[in-house]
């Protein structure tokens, strides 16, 4: 019975292909495939690491030079006249004539416009009549004074001749009071004359102010009045004309950033350009650096005024200008490119670890301790390291730098000579 059971089981195993010998062969092939795949990966990693060793590192260099270093500060602003005057009217009225227009050259006291003067002329005539009346009253008061003085003198003479009996003391007191009243009326008449003269002067002045005149010699930049327009002067005089005194001398008002204002001083030279003449540079000179700060969107700037010569009248008020202010100029300086100051030599150990993948897979290194920071901050700020080549080796050179224009820097101290090649970057070449 047992043999009978075994034979059918063997037949079933052979039929399904799961006999023990076949299972062992299949497991061996699977492990062989896995081992081969790992060997292929290791071989590829080894070839990659060996190939990376053939990459040669070369360096880009630039030479130090001797020349002039010009340090500038850039600022933008607008051109303005040296003296700009707004001409308005103190009086209200209707504009009768306008006698000047845009760009007209005007002189001092030249009439620019006239207001209607009908009412003002009537007031002047009224004032003149009041003055005449006041003067007539003064003559009348003087006559009364003379009359009372004569009467008082007669009474005094009579009283003297009558041994102080006639006239009575009451009559004498009345005569003296009458004289005093006449003298007061004379003084009042004189005061009325002064008042009438003052009123006449005011009305004549208003009549004169009805003619709008130029206060300076200059050119008309703006006109905001037309014939027939009503001018209403209440709390503030309306502006009718805007004049520039002399466009041959102008000012450039620029906003200097707070980081640069410390190096900008009065008397420094500058040059600026405007969009109207993109290929032309205009000279200027610092006239004033104002202490008052201006803050716009969190940016602090300081208004700086530059003197501009505009003899050919090519520049116009309101033009936007970009100025380059020369804050420092150093002759015969040893100059090095700023790229040499930014160069950091490659770390050999880090390069080996990143390239030799085969070693990294099987012989991992322990993590390196972090480099300690230099505690001498002042020395780090004053000194810099640049690198030159001696054969194919990098040689550090310690220097102290001074002023910089953003592209090159001045060498104050250090063993750097004009013509010395300084490393600025690395280049990897595949061999």
Are 407 and 417 spatial neighbours (Cβ–Cβ below 8 Å)? no
Contacts with 141 (C-beta within 8 Å, 6 or more apart), sequence order = 182, 185, 186, 188, 189
Query: 2: which 2 tokens?
Result: 């047992």
* CB crowding 56-70: b at 16 or more within 10 Å, else e: eeebebbebeeeebe
Q: Helix 118-161 and helix 169-209: axis angle, to 10°?
A: 160
In what order do the strands lie in the sheet containing 211-213?
211-213, 111-115, 93-98, 230-231
Which position has the token pair 């099987």? 362
Sign of the alpha-carbon dihedral angle for 41, 46, 49, 55: negative
Q: Percentage helix, strand, coil, to 5, in the chain?
A: 35, 40, 25
Backbone angles phi, psi at 245, to 5 degrees: -65, -45
CA-CA distance, 189 to 235, in Å (whole number)?
Answer: 36
Can you list the residues of the chain whose pLDDT is less than 70?
1-29, 44-56, 348-382, 428-431
Check residue 163 and give its pLDDT: 84
For residue range 165-194, what is the model confidence (pLDDT) as tens digits? 888 889 999 999 999 999 999 999 999 999
124 exposed, middle or buried (CB, 10 Å; 0-12, 13-18, 19+)? buried
Check residue 41 and give its pLDDT: 75
Helices (H), 321-416: 338-342, 348-355, 357-362, 377-382
CA-CA distance, 45 to 47, in Å (whole number)?
Answer: 5
How many CB atoms within 10 Å of residue 344? Answer: 8
CA-CA distance, 293 to 299, in Å (whole number)?
Answer: 10
Check residue 25 and give its pLDDT: 59
Check residue 236 and give its pLDDT: 78
Give the angle subtended at the CA of 365 by the CAs of 362 and 370, to the nearest 5°. Answer: 160
Model confidence, pTM: 0.65
Which position has the token pair 């050259």? 105
Are 62 and 180 spatial neighbours (Cβ–Cβ below 8 Å)? no
CA-CA distance, 241 to 80, in Å (whole number)?
Answer: 16
List strand residue ranges (DSSP E) for 17-151, in order. Answer: 55-63, 65-81, 84-88, 93-98, 105-106, 111-115
CA-nearest of 121, 123, 112 to 89 is 112
Three-state DSSP class for residue 341: helix
Are 286 and 267 spatial neighbours (Cβ–Cβ below 8 Å)? yes
DSSP codes of every residue in 26-48: HHHHHHHHHHHHHHHHHHHHHHH
Backbone angles phi, psi at 333, to 5 degrees: -95, 150
Q: What is the 3-state secondary structure (H, E, C) of 324-340?
A: EEEEEEEEEEEEEEHHH
Query: 211: which 2 tokens?
Result: 């003619």
Contacts with 262 (C-beta within 8 Å, 6 or more apart), sequence order = none
Are 210 and 155 spatial neighbours (Cβ–Cβ below 8 Å)? no
């Amino acid at each position: 019975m047992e043999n009978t059971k075994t034979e059918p089981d063997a037949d079933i195993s052979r039929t399904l292909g799961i006999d023990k010998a076949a299972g062992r062969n299949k497991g061996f092939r699977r492990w062989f495939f896995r081992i081969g795949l790992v060997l292929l990966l290791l071989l590829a990693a080894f070839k990659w690491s060996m190939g990376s060793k053939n990459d040669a590192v070369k360096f880009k260099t630039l030479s130090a030079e001797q020349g002039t270093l010009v340090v500038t500060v850039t600022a933008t602003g607008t051109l303005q006249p040296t003296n700009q005057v707004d001409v308005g009217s103190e009086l209200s009225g209707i504009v009768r004539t306008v006698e000047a227009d845009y760009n007209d050259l005007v002189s001092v006291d030249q009439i620019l416009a006239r207001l209607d003067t009908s009412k003002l002329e009537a007031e002047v005539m009224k004032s003149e009549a009041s003055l005449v009346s006041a003067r007539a009253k003064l003559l009348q008061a003087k006559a009364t004074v003379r009359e009372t003085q004569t009467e008082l003198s007669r009474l005094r003479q009579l009283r003297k001749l009558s041994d102080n009996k006639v006239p009575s003391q009451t009559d004498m007191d009345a005569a003296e009071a009458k004289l005093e009243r006449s003298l007061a009326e004379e003084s009042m008449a004189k005061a009325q004359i002064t008042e009438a003269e003052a009123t006449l002067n005011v009305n004549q002045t208003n009549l004169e102010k009805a003619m709008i005149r130029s206060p300076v010699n200059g050119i008309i930049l703006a006109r905001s009045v037309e014939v027939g327009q009503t001018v209403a002067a209440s709390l503030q005089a309306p502006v009718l004309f805007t004049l520039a005194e002399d466009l041959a001398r102008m000012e450039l008002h620029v906003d200097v950033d707070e980081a640069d204002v410390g190096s900008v001083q009065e008397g420094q030279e500058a040059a600026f350009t405007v969009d109207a003449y993109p290929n032309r540079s205009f000279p200027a000179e610092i006239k004033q650096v104002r202490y008052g700060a201006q803050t716009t969107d969190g940016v602090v700037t300081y208004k700086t005024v530059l003197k501009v010569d505009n003899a050919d009248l090519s520049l116009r008020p309101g033009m936007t200008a970009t100025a380059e202010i020369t804050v420092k100029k150093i002759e015969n300086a040893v100059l090095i490119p700023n790229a040499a100051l930014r160069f950091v030599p490659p770390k050999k150990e880090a390069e080996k670890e990143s390239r030799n993948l085969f070693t990294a897979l099987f012989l991992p290194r322990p993590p390196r301790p972090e480099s300690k920071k230099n505690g001498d901050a002042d020395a780090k700020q004053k000194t810099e390291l640049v690198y030159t080549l001696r054969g194919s080796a990098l040689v550090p050179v310690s220097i102290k730098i001074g002023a910089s224009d953003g592209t090159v820097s001045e060498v104050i101290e250090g063993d750097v000579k004009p013509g010395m090649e300084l490393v600025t970057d690395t280049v990897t070449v595949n061999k």
